[in-house]
Amino acid sequence: MPNGFPVTLTLTAEELRHAEEAAKRLAVPVEVFARNAVLNAIRGIEAGPPRPAPHQLTHIHRKLRAQGKTLTVEELKEQGLPLYWSREWVEDQLERGHSYAEIAINAGGYQVMAVRGYLRKEHGISKFTKKTPEEIEAIRQRVREGATRVEIMQEFGLSEFGAARYFQIEDAAKELELEFRRDAGRVSWPATRQQVAETLFEGSLSRASDWLDVRVKRDWLIRVKHGLYALNPSGPGGKTPPL
């Protein structure tokens, strides 16, 4: 085995038995077999650029400031630089309700205090408040009413990234609703979990249970009694469109 960094691999008893059997067939130790499996798995995967050292980050930041240049999120990623250098990226993180610690992790795993200090000094962000469910619903309602991205940004004080997120949420919600209407049209309601499993999931009860639970929580389905489900008349499947 070549010199390198030790890695601990946790396997179940059954997984270890299979690994030992496979290593025995190749006449190699199980450690060598595991290493080769990792090397084969990562073949062709390009690692990102190396992260600059702290003193290098300081130099790069000063140089960019002197040039009056602001890098995009993609440029920061390509150069292995902190994503929190982008104000738009930070604002999007805040809109998602992330804490300083979460932002530090999402930016590439930096120290929280360093991130907090940078946000205060460079972006003028010293504190933030998460939008309430009522505010979020108000934004989504305006999107559903046809408001433009610019209007959403102006009315709710959002960045372009922050506003775009709500449009993405609505698009995803529409797609999920359309998918539900199509699936619901294939089921004879009221229906049991078994019937839903056989109709939609090739008999898989676990998949049917997950599907039913999520849609009951969304008020798209209602439990008539234990084990029996029906469409909610006021939900998206109440009037199922033709397939």
In the predicted structure, residue 154 carries a pLDDT above the cut 90: no
40 plus 70 within the same structural domain: no
16 plus 40 within the same structural domain: yes
- Let me know if residue 180 belongs to a domain: no
Residue 240: per-residue pLDDT: 43
Express each pLDDT in 77-100 by its tens digit: 888 899 999 988 988 888 777 778
- Let me know if residue 127 belongs to a domain: no
Domain assignment of residue 200, given as a range: 185-243
118 plus 61 within the same structural domain: yes
Taking residues 210-219, what's their average pLDDT? 90
Could you tell me what percent of the chain has a pLDDT over 70? 90
- Let me know if residue 170 belongs to a domain: yes
Number of domains in the chain: 4
CA dihedral for 106, 122, 117, 59, sign (positive or negative): positive
157 plus 198 within the same structural domain: no
Residue 128: per-residue pLDDT: 59
65 plus 118 within the same structural domain: yes
- Let me know if residue 128 belongs to a domain: no
166 plus 209 within the same structural domain: no
- Let me know if residue 218 belongs to a domain: yes
- Let me know if residue 179 belongs to a domain: no
Contacts of 190 (CB under 8 A, 6+ apart): 224, 228, 229, 230
200 and 186 in contact (C-beta within 8 Å)?
A: yes
Question: How many beta carbons lie within 10 A of that of residue 197, not counting itself?
Answer: 20
| pTM for the structure as a whole | 0.41
Residue with tokens 């469409």: 231
- Let me know if residue 4 belongs to a domain: yes
In the predicted structure, residue 243 carries a pLDDT above the cut 70: no
Q: Give, as one character, the DSSP assignment of residue 146.
A: T
Which range (19-28, 156-165, 178-187, 197-206) has the least confidence? 156-165
Residue 45: per-residue pLDDT: 65
72 plus 100 within the same structural domain: yes
118 plus 58 within the same structural domain: yes
118 plus 143 within the same structural domain: no
- Let me know if residue 194 belongs to a domain: yes
